[in-house]
Structure 1
Amino acid sequence: MKIVNFSLNRPVTVIMLVVSIVLLGAVSITRLPQEMLPQMDFPFIGVVVAYPNSIPSQVEEEITRPIEEVCATMGGMKEMFSDSGSDYCFVGMVFNWGQSVDVLRMGVREKIDQIRDELPSDIQQIDIFTFNSNDMPIMVGRIAAPGMDLSGSYEVLNRKLIAPLERINGVGQVNIDGVEPKTISIYLHLDKIKSLQVDVNRIFQVLGETNLTLSVGKLEDGGTRYHLRAFSAMEAPQDLARIPIRQDGLQLGDVATVIYDEPLLTYGRHLNQEPAIAFWIQKESGANVVELCHNVHKRMEELKEDPALAGMDILLFFDQSEQITNSINGLLQAGFVGSLLAVLVLYLFLRRLITTLLVAIAIPFSLIGTCTFLYLTGRTLNILTMMGLMLAVGMMVDNAVVVLESIHRHQGKERDPRKAAIKGASEVGMAVTAATLTSIIVFAPITFSNAQSGLTNYLAVVGITISSCLVFSLLVSLILIPLMASKIPPPKSNGEVRWITALKKRYKIALNWAALKHPKIMGLLIVPAVLALTILVAKVGGIESDPEADVQQENLYISYKFTDNMTYTLTEPLVFQVEDSLLAHKQELEIEQVYSWFADNGAATTIYFNDKTLKPKQLIDIRNRVREVLPTLAGVELNLGGNEESNISGATFMQVTIFGEDHTALSEIATEVKRRFELVDGMYDITSDDVQGKQEIRLRFDPEKAGQYKVNPSFIAQLLNLTFRGAPLPDFKSDDGEIPMSILLTPEDRTNIENLLDLPISIIEGREVTLAAVADLDIVRGPEQISRSNQRTSLTISGTYESEDSEKMKEITRGIMDNIQYPTGYGWNFGRSIQDAEEDQTTMLINTLLALVSVGLVMAALFQSFLHPIVIMVSLPFAFIGVVLILLLTGTPFSIMVSIGGIILIGVVVNNGIVLVDHINGLRREGLSRAEAIIEGGQGRLRPILMTAATTILGLLPLAVGTVSVGDVLYKGLALAVIGGLGLSTLLTLLVMPTYYVLAEEITAHLKKIWHASRRSPLRRLPSRPAWLKAKG
């Protein structure tokens, strides 16, 4: 090959090239940014509208549906879902991958602006947000102060903690939750308003016109231009009480109390039963996470010495830098152990130290070259690139092994090291190039696809990293290895180890029997029988399917479901009872921390365990033990899940969604679904989206009475809105900045139903008109939250199935849901999480098929034949059989990581066949018969095939042990899939592939013989004219 001749003819050039790559690599490794995930914009747009103290049905009708209708016209939308609650509206839109998120966000903003006048006028802000991997917090923590009240600590924390941390270079934002800055709250006293006959609407008008700063124009005087601004402002919040609200001099302070203090919170947090505050830190784009977290830790230690923070404990629950550092250490450990094992295997086969070291050079050089590539292309060192590096460790020496073994073999024949290097490398140059291409090409459908899912994007990063490693290993094998091998004196003998010689003799006997003497028995009887037997064993043994079987975690999540309305002051004692039960068994359950969050009608408790690497199966036992110690609380359902984000719990998470139009009808269906699920053995923690609903007050206006008192119902609704929900006022201008200001009834007046009916709504001829005069009041049950999916009202039922077999769970679920009678226009589907998993599986299947086609195309181009690629593809079924067998033997469930291992196998497994078939064809071109070429070619490629398979398998061995992870994901399933598939396919390929090589050629020759025979056989043709007609002529 020309590249081999180039390396030997220009050794100084090659050495300088190597030195340059090493130097660039050294610089790149020190400057390569480290982060959890690569920067990636997800095709998601979220819309959040805050609407405090409203009811879900009102939010759905007035806000959610209009936003859904106008945004549904946007192109490329994959899914739309929404939640309407008592304080908010949330609309989420998922678009197809490949679209510009900035353009989508702008489009959503324009759509909402079109209907802004149709939405309630008192909506202050509509937030439109996107999600980027950089938005993930790099650190999450809690602040606890045993024995202290933290409710008034916002100013201290803002000055002494938040501001100093935000000044650190690379910190984007520090968020805090659990305390809030001081605000001005104007509380109206209903009894005073009634006794003084105050028009409440007039109060709102007066306050809206007070404390303003307006620009009123410009003035020129003596050639000087002045800007004029008019102020109607006060110096202190207490001045608000002196504002006149009526012409008779009545002031605001006569009917209201003005309070400048921290607002009353309707939520709280506990850390080990002590009040706690949550905080999280986000980074700027491009910041090095490890370095940044180190600086934050250092600054935090300094801040803890501040007397203002005395008594406060700052605890970190999550630190991205720890995961990244642990992942890097796992990479280094796996790489070192895998490399050491690979080198030992090479020495075992070659028994020559200097030759072994030549091959080992491929590992560090490929890693250095890949880091250089990542740095120069603006990429980062993250869990995905590290995953690619870990997977490539065992494959980096494959090309070098084949080339060096070929050179090593020629050195036994050719005493000139230079000629041996040229002949040996050139002989296998095309084969190793094709083998590398097949390993790379399997990632082409992923890398250059239209990015059908998030999984595809992630795998593209992994594929690019592995491909880079393989390209550099190919360059090492074709440039550096021949050059260095040419400088090494040839061995005194052929250098073959005795056990290899003995193995070749036995292999020759087996190969002669299988491929030459009995190819039909081997290929048409024995091999199909083995395949059938394996399929039977797999069906009998059963392989469980669990997409998240490789994920490990450190916590367990408990959600609270309340059957009636509960304020946060009532939920907190219930949370205390749960915490008491858990902390009483802290040692037994190996609990490190118990963290709880509670609010109106909602609460959750997260248990953090001492063991940070709990496997799903371990959680099955832990959750059962936790369930035994949890108390029974009246009116509360306690449901155990995994962590609050993934719901992994050591079992299979089940979720279905029913949809229709009427929420009441859906509630009835959900009740029946829940009842049927509870009858299934192994299903537990069944919960639905508020089947029973919560109590709410509904007012029914009497049109005749409203007309009699000249009261507009819409005006009344607006007045109630302002007094009971509260209304924001223009910010108060002060020397310290702008202070949020709001007005509403006192908490006491808002907790009494009679006060609602006594609310004065108008004054006619000096006589007040109350709400009771024009409206009736009903107490009914309404939904706590109204969810919609693709513009249809929906309810979600979820639970847990005590098994890791997700396919079995889905079959059970499908049987239950299909047997339910649905009204016209109603139906069901699996929940969003299960649909996403199915989408990922479909994506993996499509990419697998595309990888098969791509590999076949590369091999056809190499061999200039359609037949030989098909022969080589025979090794793939044996690879997947190897995967099935190793999963059965180790009890490993089928997961996404196993699927990824299957895709990688497609490119790796065929490499042995390419090297073997290419060598057989080369020998035949030299004049050997087919039988001689198969025997000699098989024996000649036996050692390199075993060596490459062994180095790849041993390189993955640290991952297969199950102790190495990147992030929270174990790569045991992936490593086992590659080890099992490659191991079995290698052993069988050595016998089966030559057999099918013979069978394919014999069948082809036989078909050609039939074809040519049919072409030569005489065919009775009809004469141009009938015989009798010719006779007449």
Structure 2
Amino acid sequence: QIADGGREQFVNLAADYTSLASIGQTVVKPEGPLRLEQIATIRDGGAERETIARIDGMEAITISLVRDRQANLLDLSRTTRAEINRINKALTSQGVELAIVNDAAEPIEENIGSIESLALIGGLLAVGVLWAFLRHLALVAVVALSIPISVLIALNFFYALDISLNTLSLVGIAVAIGMLLDNSIVVLESIYRQFSRHRKPADAVVAGVGEVWRAVGAATLTTICVFLPFLFSTNFLVRILGRHVGISIISTLLVSLVVAFLLIPIFAFRLFSRRSTDAIPSFNIVSQRNRLVQIYALLLKSCLRFPARTLGLSVVSFFVSILLCLVVSIDLPEEVELDSFDLYANLPSGTTLELADEQAAQMDERLADLEELEERRVEIQTDYLHFTFRLVEDFQEIERRDLSGVRKEVRDRLSRSFPRVRFSSEQPRTDARFRSGGGGNQGMGRAFQRLLGIGTTQERIVLRGNDLELLQIIADDVRYNLERLPGVRHPRLQMGNRQPSIDLTFDRPALSHFGVPATSIGAALNSFRPQYSSGVRLKSDGEEIDILLKSTEQEEKRRVDDLRQLQVTTTGGGAVPLLQLADLSYARGYGQITRINQEKEIELTYQFDDEVQNSSQLLDETRAAIDALTAGLNLPAGVAIEAIHDETDLSEFYFLIGASILLIYMILASVFESLIAPLAMMITLPLATIGAFWGLILTGNSIFNANAMVGFLILLGVVVNNGIMLIDYARLLQRRGAPLGRALLTAGQVRVRPILITVLSTALAMFPLAMGQVEYVARIGAPFAITVIGGLIAGTLFTLLLVPTAYFGLARSLDWARSLSWPLKMLQLAALAAGFYLIHTGIDSTFWQFADGTALLALVPALTYFVRSSLRRSQAELIPAGAPIRISIRNLVKVYDDRSRFTRQWGRWERQQSHLADSSTRIGWDRLAALAWQLPLLAFHGYFAYIYLGSAFYALLFSIGFCLFLLRLVHLHLIPLLPRLGRWL
């Protein structure tokens, strides 16, 4: 830096090499002068090869592209493919072509396309449900408009909140599609019910919307509010999950609410202004002659007569079902069925690249006859091989093996032929050379995969200490015991190979005697290598090229004697052989050492065999045996060992579920202005989990992952909606003067039709997503849909029967509680408080705390009622003393062996049908007209069950439905023809 004219200027040294000629002009020795071009050959070349790539046994050149963190993977993939096509056109004349062998965006695009098609099919099924109930094109079209309008407008929310159309957001839309019709159906049904009372269309619209606006708004808010607690989650991955799925559902539902309150009334007014009430028979109020309505009314009457028994039996069924589900469910990640998989081979330490190439060729030849493998790729490095196998389409049909079966066959073949090589399906964590590959993860983080229940079933044992040699001895002992433990397979140490090395121990007096500085030793050892970097770069055409120093290529590889005789330059200009300066000893060094909190760590991984993975009991027993193995080790001081089981931490979701339940209660309490009515509606929350749990277990899904938990959260907001509609109408009838029992019975019969329509449309709209078999769809979207479908079906049954029963029982219980004296009320509260305290302090299991708390909550009032009733009866007098005796005589008739009330009412429908059959002289044209939609529906059902479905479970389920549907059509249409056919013959 110099000062020139009052300004400071920097001095830069321009001494870069810009051409090969400039490198050759470098002066090596002033005498002469001796230039570099006189003693060395300078040319363009390449560094010594460190890796080899082969595809199907043929050598290839591979280029790996790693995206920037901010880049969109799908956009980057499309851009890269376009650029590759442009390069290929330019290379056509040279006979060279770039071929894409692996694209991480392909499965993502395929899954997104699959979710879009499944959502479209689900929307069509929901519209089909509307057609089956309404059978009126204008009405179906009006309600069906809710789906496209809501989805298209919701995309603006996506844009505003910077949410992309990814797998999670599309799953949220697919789940929400079935719910988009609910509000419109309820509003339209309410408007028509007012219109059927011969009101003017304008009055009917106003009255119909005014009758249900509060219930519809509350139902939508309860569905939306379950995603609010995600904002307060401390887990970043949980917040991502809630953000993408939550915004998808919230935005579409909000738009559907606006559509139901604005567009549906407008369309209904236009439609009903042109038609009379008799012109739309398909939307008439449910007939009391309908068998389904009669059965429902009969069951509801029975439940209302015995509310305590009904609720008690339901609670017992809930806890028994939950206990059974927890016993049989397995907390292990599920593997995604991709069309490719990776295999890693850990070769013996010290293996050269040439020998590794030979072994890779032998392994590839050993697998050449496997028909499931379409392409075999291998990346060869010293000590490591990385195989990538691409499977043929429909590979399961060849040998009836799934992905894990093919992987096991490949691994078993190679393990038998190469016993000294350690194979692993997991990417090595200790070697940096493999960390940039996508492998089978397709860019998805391991932690997020495990949260979603995706991945391989691998657990680990961690050893920590300061003595690495001692840690490896103990780890080898643990691995030896794991290999002999039943149910455990492939135990493997996650640490790099110990590379053979030669240690140099320098003699400091000799170094001082000969005058050898450390820089001379380093320079001599660098020159001993076949090639090494000079530390200088050639700058040409905007590129920087490393300048390497290499010995004669024809020179044989150096040996230990050559190292001993290596000449080291002294300060005086002489040379001394290395053997006079240092002692050489053979050793094995660690390529990499892992430290956690200043302690060295070794990780031992293992997997379970298929029998253990498919049995919850065997899994618990095997884990207990591993815990006993680690606990029984006699560890020296300074060494710690821990068995880390691959169990999902769902504590964050327990908070979300609890907060969601509290928010739902607060919304219902504010809407209905009651603290008791919401309790009756929310009784379906725990009972709906019966269907959700059994749905997950029967379809082979785990209940211990984030997908199922988010499905439960969605279920919490959806399952109370039907109860809201029912209780809201019952309270409206009460305000009009109807008794409580009659109001509940009438509300159930009036609301059963819209409830069935909304439930069936929601469930069928999610069925395609639940049956998705494409890679990540089956592992991410299916648990969402199965949880909601199973819980919604079970919750509907409980809503129609138990919500009115609970509301009726709570009303009677409150009247009874008000009649108690204050000392008795305080005694009950004290008993409950003491019982809850003992349960909380004496029981560790959350399940048993909840079960015992529920039992206590019912036992204390029941015991109080029993004691008071017993005391009152013991003190009662039949005829008080001094009271006159009056005797009334009536004619009583006792019919012995008569059927019960339930049986008599059950047979009423059969008598009605018999009377109608006797009075009719021909088959009604309405039945024949029904065949116009029943036969196409039967044909579609048969195609769907026997041709479309690939899952055996769903095929069996739908084939049973197909047979029942067919038998129903035969009973309705063919059986009545038999007498007439006989008379005609």
**Alpha-carbon distance change, 292 to 810 in structure 1, aligned in 2, over 3 angstroms:** same
> Which one has a larger percent strand, Structure 1 or Structure 2?
1
When structure 1 is superposed on structure 2, of 776-785 and 294-303 the one drifting more is: 294-303
Instruction: State the distance in 2 between where 1:767 and 1:228 align.
Output: 38
Q: CA deviation at 1:621?
A: 1.8
**CA-to-aligned-CA distance 1:791-833 (integer Å, 9 cap, x gap):** 32111212321244696465554343333333344334466xx
Paired residue secondary structure (1:584): coil
The answer to whether residue 328 in structure 2 is matched with residue 529 in structure 1 is: no
Instruction: State the distance in 2 between where 1:509 and 1:923 align.
Output: 20
- Report if aligned partners of 1:334, 1:959 keep a CA contact under 8 Å in 2: yes
> Which amino acid is the alignment partner of residue 340 of structure 1?
L
Counterpart pick for 1:995 among 775, 782, 805: 805
RMSD, aligned α-carbons: 3.6
Give runs of aligned pairs for residues 305-704 of structure 1, distance below 5 A: 305-307=89-91, 310-319=94-103, 322-323=106-107, 325-446=109-230, 448-450=231-233, 452-489=235-272, 490-492=276-278, 495-496=284-285, 498=287, 501-515=290-304, 517-524=305-312, 526-535=313-322, 537-538=324-325, 542-549=328-335, 551-585=336-370, 587=371, 590-611=372-393, 618-630=402-414, 632-633=417-418, 635-641=420-426, 644-646=439-441, 652-690=457-495, 693-704=498-509
- Report if aligned partners of 2:770, 2:783 keep a CA contact under 8 Å in 1: yes
Paired residue secondary structure (2:98): strand
> Which amino acid is the alignment partner of residue 309 of structure 2?
I
Instruction: State the distance in 1 between where 2:768 and 2:689 align.
Output: 22
- Report if aligned partners of 2:116, 2:170 keep a CA contact under 8 Å in 1: no
The answer to whether residue 566 in structure 2 is matched with residue 784 in structure 1 is: no
Task: Report the equivalent of 2:640.
Answer: 827
**Alpha-carbon distance change, 853 to 720 in structure 1, aligned in 2, over 3 angstroms:** farther
**Alpha-carbon distance change, 464 to 939 in structure 1, aligned in 2, over 3 angstroms:** same
**CA-to-aligned-CA distance 1:202-256 (integer Å, 9 cap, x gap):** xxxxxxxxxxxxxx87999xxx999987654666435545544345455556776
Task: Report the equivalent of 2:814.
Answer: 1004
Task: Report the equivalent of 1:918.
Answer: 728
Instruction: State the distance in 2 between where 1:532 and 1:558 align.
Output: 44
**CA-to-aligned-CA distance 1:467-512 (integer Å, 9 cap, x gap):** 0011011111111111211222252267135588432222122111
Task: Report the equivalent of 2:631.
Answer: 818
> Which amino acid is the alignment partner of residue 995 of structure 1?
T
Instruction: State the distance in 1 between where 2:25 and 2:185 align.
Output: 90
When structure 1 is superposed on structure 2, of 272-281 and 306-315 the one drifting more is: 306-315
> Which one has a larger percent helix, Structure 1 or Structure 2?
2
> Which amino acid is the alignment partner of residue 168 of structure 2?
L
> Which amino acid is the alignment partner of residue 357 of structure 2?
E
Q: CA deviation at 1:284?
A: 7.9
- Report if aligned partners of 2:520, 2:570 keep a CA contact under 8 Å in 1: no
Task: Report the equivalent of 1:986.
Answer: 796
Instruction: State the distance in 1 between where 2:404 and 2:775 align.
Output: 21
Give runs of aligned pairs for residues 39-50 of structure 1, distance below 5 A: none
- Report if aligned partners of 1:324, 1:967 keep a CA contact under 8 Å in 2: no
Instruction: State the distance in 1 between where 2:175 and 2:161 align.
Output: 21
Aligned-pair identity (%):
26
- Higher Rg: 2
- Report if aligned partners of 1:958, 1:964 keep a CA contact under 8 Å in 2: no
> Which amino acid is the alignment partner of residue 1001 of structure 1?
A
Paired residue secondary structure (1:564): coil
Task: Report the equivalent of 2:660.
Answer: 851
Instruction: State the distance in 1 between where 2:115 and 2:761 align.
Output: 17
**Alpha-carbon distance change, 376 to 752 in structure 1, aligned in 2, over 3 angstroms:** same
- Report if aligned partners of 1:350, 1:495 keep a CA contact under 8 Å in 2: no
Q: CA deviation at 1:288?
A: 7.5
- Report if aligned partners of 2:47, 2:548 keep a CA contact under 8 Å in 1: no
> Which amino acid is the alignment partner of residue 521 of structure 1?
R
> Which amino acid is the alignment partner of residue 580 of structure 2?
A
When structure 1 is superposed on structure 2, of 1006-1015 and 743-752 the one drifting more is: 743-752
Give runs of aligned pairs for residues 77-92 of structure 1, distance below 5 A: none
Instruction: State the distance in 1 between where 2:487 and 2:600 align.
Output: 30
The answer to whether residue 784 in structure 2 is matched with residue 971 in structure 1 is: no
> Which amino acid is the alignment partner of residue 505 of structure 1?
Q
Task: Report the equivalent of 1:761.
Answer: 568
Instruction: State the distance in 2 between where 1:773 and 1:954 align.
Output: 85
Q: CA deviation at 1:709?
A: 2.6
Instruction: State the distance in 2 between where 1:912 and 1:520 align.
Output: 22
Q: CA deviation at 1:982?
A: 1.0
Paired residue secondary structure (1:571): helix
**Alpha-carbon distance change, 1013 to 500 in structure 1, aligned in 2, over 3 angstroms:** farther
**Alpha-carbon distance change, 360 to 304 in structure 1, aligned in 2, over 3 angstroms:** same
Task: Report the equivalent of 2:538.
Answer: 732
**Alpha-carbon distance change, 641 to 935 in structure 1, aligned in 2, over 3 angstroms:** same
The answer to whether residue 54 in structure 2 is matched with residue 270 in structure 1 is: yes
When structure 1 is superposed on structure 2, of 458-467 and 712-721 the one drifting more is: 712-721
Q: CA deviation at 1:712?
A: 4.5
- Report if aligned partners of 2:496, 2:592 keep a CA contact under 8 Å in 1: no
Q: CA deviation at 1:368?
A: 1.0
> Which amino acid is the alignment partner of residue 546 of structure 2?
P
When structure 1 is superposed on structure 2, of 930-939 and 745-754 the one drifting more is: 745-754
Unaligned runs of 5+ in 2: 428-437, 828-985
Q: CA deviation at 1:750?
A: 7.0
Paired residue secondary structure (1:544): coil
- Report if aligned partners of 2:286, 2:753 keep a CA contact under 8 Å in 1: no
Instruction: State the distance in 2 between where 1:710 and 1:299 align.
Output: 60
- Report if aligned partners of 1:617, 1:651 keep a CA contact under 8 Å in 2: no
**Alpha-carbon distance change, 351 to 247 in structure 1, aligned in 2, over 3 angstroms:** closer
- Report if aligned partners of 1:686, 1:797 keep a CA contact under 8 Å in 2: yes
- Report if aligned partners of 1:652, 1:802 keep a CA contact under 8 Å in 2: no
- Report if aligned partners of 2:772, 2:778 keep a CA contact under 8 Å in 1: no
**Alpha-carbon distance change, 392 to 728 in structure 1, aligned in 2, over 3 angstroms:** farther
**Alpha-carbon distance change, 636 to 293 in structure 1, aligned in 2, over 3 angstroms:** closer
Give runs of aligned pairs for residues 6-17 of structure 1, distance below 5 A: none
Task: Report the equivalent of 1:888.
Answer: 697
> Which amino acid is the alignment partner of residue 486 of structure 1?
F
Q: CA deviation at 1:984?
A: 1.0
**Alpha-carbon distance change, 592 to 444 in structure 1, aligned in 2, over 3 angstroms:** same
Counterpart pick for 2:718 among 897, 908, 920: 908
Paired residue secondary structure (2:63): strand
Instruction: State the distance in 2 between where 1:352 and 1:244 align.
Output: 96
Q: CA deviation at 1:994?
A: 1.8
TM-score (norm 1): 0.70
Instruction: State the distance in 1 between where 2:720 and 2:541 align.
Output: 75
Instruction: State the distance in 1 between where 2:211 and 2:138 align.
Output: 22
- Report if aligned partners of 1:787, 1:795 keep a CA contact under 8 Å in 2: yes
Task: Report the equivalent of 2:906.
Answer: none
Q: CA deviation at 1:991?
A: 1.1
Instruction: State the distance in 1 between where 2:169 and 2:326 align.
Output: 36
Instruction: State the distance in 1 between where 2:135 and 2:820 align.
Output: 52
> Which amino acid is the alignment partner of residue 859 of structure 1?
L
- Report if aligned partners of 1:552, 1:970 keep a CA contact under 8 Å in 2: no
**CA-to-aligned-CA distance 1:644-682 (integer Å, 9 cap, x gap):** 354999862223322222211211121122112211233
**Alpha-carbon distance change, 325 to 838 in structure 1, aligned in 2, over 3 angstroms:** closer
